[in-house]
Structure 1
Amino acid sequence: MITEPVLLRIGEAVQLGHSGERAAARVLFTQIWDEIGGGQGDPLHVCTLAHGMADVQDDARQELVWDQRALAAVDGLTDERVARAGVPLSVAGLLPSLHLNLSECYRKLGELDSAREHLRHAEATIGALGDDDYGRLIRDGLAKVAEGLREA
């Protein structure tokens, strides 16, 4: 169970985005981003925040910037840090979703080679996920992006 105050606030911003309050989510994400030191903060906070912030962008180029920040922050993560925060995934378990988001973003931007590259990375790392709701969500997302790329 996640108990860190920063991660709980990031979760609140994610929920705002899911409830359709995208502008309010961006405001809260921006406040937290400033508080955690931007891209220089704790890699778990940076990765989680950037992953969520990407989802509430109205411009695909801005979405890409945030998705790239999320993936870059993974390099500074350890399974120990993720577990200490109560996140129920390993670092490897974060990768399929991060690559899926990048693939979809590049697809929207018409950068199909980059989209396919990230789709391959997502598919190569999907084994880190279990056969649970989250794993099925990511697998379904991969199938949709792959279909979109076949149609492109």
Structure 2
Amino acid sequence: MNTAHPDIVVVGPDGEYLMIVEVKLGDSSSRRQEAFRQMKHLMASMGCSVGLVVLGEYVFLLRDSLEKSHGESIDVVGEAKLPDSLLPSADESWGGVRSLEFEARVQQWLEKLKHTANSDVLPDDLGELLGEPILSLIRIGEVRAAGPRWSRLASKMAVNV
């Protein structure tokens, strides 16, 4: 059975999940609602109170106020536009699997944010969305893929052969 898991995680020094990230290439209202539903489920099941959903050109911040149990108090608290540099290019090293390239670019961006002194290097709306509390989580944690991308790439390429 295939269990749902986020695409990227930020794990604290003690192994706790500080933030989970879900990355989807396209954006539509139905895809958005499904991504939010899935993120809320993941946040509740993993005991994580901060989540980012990256959909196409936008990033959404979800937080759990912890006022209710089972994820009932998880809400979308803001959104911002991603820098164009994160959007997938026509790089053929990903075998045409643009969604995996996008996921990898978002992870690399989060890893770079870890070494950024402040949010001044971000566009205004994105800097405001992430702010010091979220950037601090990224700085103290380890940003990593939640699962192997290469196996998903290999299975996609096998289907195309």
TM-score, length basis structure 2: 0.29
Which structure is larger by alpha-carbon Rg, 1 or 2? 2
TM-score, length basis structure 1: 0.30
**Larger helix fraction of residues:** 1
- By relative contact order (CA 8 Å, sep 6+), the higher-ranking structure is 2
**Larger strand fraction of residues:** 2
